Amino acid sequence: MANLVLSECGIRPLPRIYTTPRSTFLSNNKPTSFKSRPPPSSSLRFRLNSRNWALNVSTPLTTVESSPPIEEQPETQRFDPGAPPPFNLADIRAAIPKHCWVKNPWKSMSYVVRDVAIVFALAAGAAYLNNWLVWPLYWIAQGTMFWALFVLGHDCGHGSFSNDPRLNSVVGHLLHSSILVPYHGWRISHRTHHQNHGHVENDESWHPMSEKIYKSLDKPTRFFRFTLPLVMLAYPFYLWARSPGKKGSHYHPESDLFLPKERNDVLTSTACWTAMAALLISLNFVMGPMQMLKLYVVPYWINVMWLDFVTYLHHHGHEDKLPWYRGKEWSYLRGGLTTLDRDYGLINNIHHDIGTHVIHHLFPQIPHYHLVEATEAAKPVLGKYYREPDKSGPLPLHLLEILAKSIKEDHFVSDEGDVVYYEADPNLYGQIKVTAE
């Protein structure tokens, strides 16, 4: 079952047959020739300190001299999203106000207090009313709040919650363990997602399968991977056994995901996860399995769907096919520029502006409460490499159509080429239908 899903995050690059270009954060300012497949018709070095529990994904504090002034491309020239950008990370960083980099632990903790209070209030209210007209509303609201807790724990993993690694670790463990996420296991794997974003083989969050791996999947696996809503339930299975073509578990300290010096961190998080699981089992005997199903289990799966829904759309579903990279064509900047911002309407504030994703990917140390301002400041530099998200109504219902379209069309990328685009398997759903019959 675990091999039925695509990854949400991950850790270490695949075997050395793949090249992991990390010699620089900066893309070349001069256009380069590259082997590329056209769209279908329709480094950084990280300091790993076993006691520093921040994610340690950041750009250099000192940057090279900025590139020459950015020249707008003529309107008659078709914009190529796979071309090297005429700016570098130093240019983007310089455009972001200095106060956007400041982390305020008191402000961060205020969001934790707010969200935890709402979670308990919702549970108490639903348990008191115990009405079947109320339960569906509770499930949606509480599942959304569980997802908000995940986002705050995510900030702890990045170190954007505070400058105190111990505070980040304690809060991160409490938040993530409460929703059955192994904090350090996830934190370490998520580090490599940011470290290798946009790389076909080395990325770890909803990265594409190569055509070879795609064709090696059996029909049931393809059915679960490319059928809604099943694919939106992927995350727990990924935590257990990663994704097709990769090995390891977020719970096992000897997994290929982790370095030997990270063993104790992984054991700590797995122990916290186990303690939470034991608490939930105990509450089944106290409250009864049906009450626990209503209070916790259903909201948990709503949270999982939120997580998969949001993270998938950060990397898929733009109206124009966006590139994925290999080899020398990949760089931290070019990979980060393939991410997408999304507008979630009223949910933006609830899940801490996680939809403001481009700047977050390039500079994950910026606190979530500064991301909107930082993005606005960076837009003039990013130019056409920033794709303005479609405006949402109160609820992001417009994204459901985008999700469905992408699931039907974005199946694999070519085994060859250093700049590649998603392609569709025209026979996929015919195969699924035959199998079902």
Q: What per-residue string of b and e applies to 319-356 under the rule 16 or more CB within 10 Å gives b? A: eebbbbbbbebbbbbbbbbbbbbbbbbebbebbbbbbb
CB contact at 8 A, 341 and 358: yes
Q: Residue 181: helix, strand or coil by DSSP?
A: coil
Give the whole-angstrom CA distance, residue 205 versus residue 190. Answer: 8
With the CA atoms of 35, 36, 37 and 41 taken in that order, what torsion angle do they form, in degrees rounded to the nearest 10? -150
- Partners of 423 in the beta sheet? 412
Give the DSSP letter string of 119-176: HHHHHHHHHHH--TTTHHHHHHHHHHHHHHHHHHHHHHHHT-S-S-HHHHHHHHHHHH
Cβ neighbour number for residue 304 with a 10 Å cutoff: 23
Give the whole-angstrom CA distance, residue 10 versus residue 250. Answer: 9
Dig out the tokens for 61 from the structure: 């504090």
Residue 160's pLDDT is 97
Give the whole-angstrom CA distance, residue 202 versus residue 325. Answer: 10
Is the preceding peptide bond at 229 cis, omega within 30 degrees of 0?
yes
Give the whole-angstrom CA distance, residue 13 versus residue 2. Answer: 20
Give the whole-angstrom CA distance, residue 91 versus residue 179. Answer: 39
Dig out the tokens for 92 from the structure: 């983007």
Residue 220's pLDDT is 86
CB contact at 8 A, 425 and 412: yes
CA of 150: how far to CAs of 131, 183, 266, 348, in Å? 28, 10, 18, 14
H-type alpha helices, 351-411: 358-362, 371-382, 398-409
Largest distance between two CA atoms of the chain: 69
Residue 16's pLDDT is 38
417: left (phi over 0), alpha (psi -120 to 50) or beta: left
Residue 167's pLDDT is 98
Q: Which residue has the tokens 């299975």?
A: 237
Residue 245's pLDDT is 74
CB-count burial class (<10 Å; 0-12, 13-18, 19+) for 133: exposed
Cβ neighbour number for residue 74 with a 10 Å cutoff: 6
Residue 11's pLDDT is 38
Eight-state DSSP code of residue 385: G
Backbone angles phi, psi at 388, to 5 degrees: -60, 125
Dig out the tokens for 240 from the structure: 């257990």
| Tens-level pLDDT at each residue, the chain (437 residues) | 444 443 334 434 434 334 443 333 333 444 444 444 555 544 433 333 444 444 454 444 433 434 444 455 455 578 888 999 999 999 999 999 999 999 999 999 999 999 999 999 999 999 999 999 999 999 999 999 999 999 999 999 999 999 999 999 999 999 999 999 999 999 999 999 999 999 999 998 788 999 999 999 888 888 888 999 999 999 999 999 887 778 889 999 998 889 999 999 999 999 999 999 999 999 999 999 999 999 999 999 999 999 999 999 999 999 888 999 999 999 999 999 999 999 999 999 999 999 999 999 999 999 999 999 999 999 999 999 999 999 999 999 999 999 999 999 999 999 999 999 999 999 888 754 444 44
Strands 419-420 and 324-325, by their bridges, are antiparallel
Residue 436's pLDDT is 45
CB contact at 8 A, 73 and 79: yes
